[in-house]
């Protein structure tokens, strides 16, 4: 992706429908650990211009992290809505949270937070970097909001189609 060899094929996509399909596919993963996924999606949201497969992968990665870092049987919330003129996909978990000083580097390659190391959570530290790259290629951004002991929320912000 970074070398530019991957070509995105943007198309007009309803983010609520795309997110719903990713959540539906992901539910077999979450069922094995007893996690519940609660989806709230604004069906009146205007379409966004994105590569459908790439954005689905970004949302999948956020769901996968939410499950990996949350206790078995906990809930993960997914919200698709408007935020300041943008389309937003938020994934919130009940995990251990991320220390403020770790949040600024979390979207870089091979960076893993202390919760991953301490909890022996499997991973390479490239999932969030890939999410950031995909979203950035679509002129969007990824935001991390987290408090230790209170879980994390990862938000993908995309410009709505004009």
| Residue 3 lies inside a defined structural domain of this protein | no
Instruction: Give the bridge partners for 153, in sequence order.
Output: 92, 145
| Residue 5 lies inside a defined structural domain of this protein | no
Residue 105 belongs to what domain range? 11-159
Q: How far apart are alpha carbons 46 and 66 in whole angstroms?
A: 26
90 Cβ contact partners less than 8 Å away, ≥ 6 residues apart: 77, 78, 79, 80, 81, 153, 154, 155, 156
**Residue pLDDT, tens place only, 56-109:** 999 999 999 999 889 989 999 999 999 998 999 999 999 998 888 886 877 665
| Residue 6 lies inside a defined structural domain of this protein | no
**Contact yes or no for 145/153 (Cβ under 8 A):** yes
Number of domains in the chain: 1
| Residue 137 lies inside a defined structural domain of this protein | yes
| Residue 2 lies inside a defined structural domain of this protein | no
| Residue 28 lies inside a defined structural domain of this protein | yes
Residue 121 has pLDDT above 60, yes or no: no
| Residue 35 lies inside a defined structural domain of this protein | yes
Residue linked to tokens 């990824």? 142
Q: How far apart are alpha carbons 91 and 122 in whole angstroms?
A: 20
Residue 120 has pLDDT above 50, yes or no: no
| Residue 74 lies inside a defined structural domain of this protein | yes
* Amino acid 69: pLDDT: 87
Enter the pTM of the model. Answer: 0.87
The enclosing domain of 108 has a CATH number of 3.30.565.10
The mean pLDDT value for 35-46 works out to 95
């Amino acid at each position: 992706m970074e070398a530019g060899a991957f070509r995105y094929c943007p198309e007009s996509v309803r983010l609520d429908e795309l997110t719903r399909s990713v959540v539906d596919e992901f539910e077999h993963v979450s069922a094995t650990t007893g996690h519940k996924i609660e989806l709230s999606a604004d069906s009146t949201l205007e379409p966004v211009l994105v590569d459908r497969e790439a954005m689905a992968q970004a949302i999948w990665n956020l769901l996968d992290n939410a499950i990996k870092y949350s206790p078995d049987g906990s809930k993960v919330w997914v919200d698709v809505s408007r935020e300041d003129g943008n389309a937003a996909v938020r994934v919130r978990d009940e995990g251990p949270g991320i220390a403020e000083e770790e949040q600024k580097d979390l979207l870089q390659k091979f960076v893993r937070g202390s919760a991953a190391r301490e909890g022996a959570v499997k991973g390479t530290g490239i999932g969030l970097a890939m999410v950031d790259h995909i979203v950035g290629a679509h002129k969007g951004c990824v935001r991390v909001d987290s408090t230790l002991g209170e879980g994390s929320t990862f938000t993908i912000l995309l410009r709505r189609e004009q």
